[in-house]
A and B are shown apart, each in its own frame.
Chain A
Amino acid sequence: MSDRPLDLAIRQAPELHYIDLSELKISNCTGCFGCWTRTPGKCVIRDDAPRVYPYIAKSEEVVYITKVIYGGYDTIMKTMLERAIPIQQAFIRIHRGETHHIQRNVAPKKATIIAYGSTDPEEQDLFRQLVARNACNMNFASHEVIFTTEEMIDNTVNNILKQWETSSF
């Protein structure tokens, strides 16, 4: 799932799904709690986000490609991550010693976050802290953050895809 178009070496594989968020219409979460209390598991805003969060839920491996701003996800990726709240319940569990929301059918996943647009070590450290927090709330069984430049994004993603292809077949 990327916040910009990618030139992928592999586009077609039965277990691979590529989402370019920059070409989708996804509006901001309004915080209505509808996906928890009115239509559980389903967002009441019927734009492109409901086509995306089911993939987030069922994937055992995710690769997110995002620009970094102020040590966090830039707006395109952040908008989608907020709209993925329907895959959680309102109800609370105790997970890794903290209170967190119960996940619906969300596969534990290996997450790789490819982050570009940041060369500042302080900002990179903050982004790592954010992803570690996400791990608790987004069911990451393991996670890795890779910082790269905008020019190197395609290469970085394609290297990960090659590794995935090798390990899958």
Chain B
Amino acid sequence: MGNIFILNGSPRASKSNSKQYAEIFSKNYLQETIYKAISKTNQVQLCRELSHYSDVLFVFPLYADALPVGLLHFLKTLETNLPEHKPTVSILINCGFLEPEQNEVAVKIIHLFCRRNGFPIGSTLMLGSGEAILKSPFKYIAIRNIRKLAKCIASGNHQTIQATMPLPKFLFRLAANKYWTKYGQKFGITKKQMQTMETEG
């Protein structure tokens, strides 16, 4: 087990759920963790820094069924700025849908990148209901599985883990709709307004 570099690939960075997931991971990983958010301006520097770590953990949300485009830009930068020492790549991905398996294609994209560029593949945690789980009574499920991810990475006994809220789909739909209605209320927007079928143009 060595030090781990945690890279946040969320476009929301400082306000992101991914940042909170990274913090939970750090609390549960026994060695030193260094956290940075990927931005447009720090990518080459991050590629250089990767050499200093035995492991890297990409933490990010699912965007349009795949990686957020900022993270994709980073992988392209990394491909042309490969570090001398390549750390083992682990993944903590979350999607807002109930089914964690909706993250599978994004995980495969990173694994393909790793195989092409000689990065060892580590562990993966695919979280469903990731937008709201930390604000729900099921927060413990996220924490428990992030702890499990930390143990897998630390031991080198790599695994792929899936976790989500233990709800039937119809109940998740109701809970999610309540969550988003409250979200809109913060900005003075009613549920009916949020349900508009119109887009501009």
Interface residues in chain A, defined as those with a beta carbon under 8 Å from any beta carbon in chain B: 28-33, 36-38, 40-42, 50-51, 53-55, 57, 69-75, 78-79, 81-82, 84-87, 89-94, 98-100, 102, 104-105, 122-123, 126, 129-130, 133-134, 137
Residues of A within 8 A of B183 (CB): 33, 36-37, 90
CB distance from A84 to the nearest CB of B (A): 8
Residues of A within 8 A of B170 (CB): 94
- CB pair B176–A91 under 8 Å, yes or no, is yes
- CB pair A104–B196 under 8 Å, yes or no, is yes
A interface footprint on B94-126 (CB within 8 Å = 1, 0 otherwise): 000111001011001110110010000000000
CB distance from A13 to the nearest CB of B (A): 19
- CB pair B72–A75 under 8 Å, yes or no, is yes
Given contacts A33-B183, A86-B199, A98-B97, contact A81 B76 (CB under 8 A): no
Taking A40-B195, A78-B66 as known contacts, 20 extra A-B pairs with beta carbons closer than 8 A to each other, sorted by chain A number, are A28-B68, A29-B11, A31-B63, A32-B12, A40-B189, A41-B199, A57-B201, A69-B72, A70-B116, A71-B105, A78-B72, A91-B177, A91-B195, A92-B177, A93-B173, A94-B173, A99-B176, A104-B198, A123-B112, A134-B64
A8-B64 Cα distance, complex, nearest whole Å: 28
CB distance from B80 to the nearest CB of A (A): 13
- CB pair A99–B187 under 8 Å, yes or no, is no
A90-B194 Cα distance, complex, nearest whole Å: 8
- CB pair B199–A42 under 8 Å, yes or no, is yes
Given contacts A41-B196, A50-B201, A78-B72, contact A73 B108 (CB under 8 A): no
A122-B116 Cα distance, complex, nearest whole Å: 12
Contact-size category for B: 35 or more
A68-B89 Cα distance, complex, nearest whole Å: 22
Interchain residue pairs A-B with the least CB separation, the first 9:
A54-B201, A90-B180, A133-B65, A31-B12, A37-B184, A41-B199, A92-B176, A31-B11, A99-B98
Given contacts A28-B70, A82-B64, contact A75 B199 (CB under 8 A): no
Cβ 8 A contact of B65, one of A36, A75, A130:
A130
- CB pair B76–A75 under 8 Å, yes or no, is yes
Residues of B within 8 A of A91 (CB): 176-177, 180, 194-195
A94-B108 Cα distance, complex, nearest whole Å: 25
Residues of A within 8 A of B169 (CB): 94, 98-99
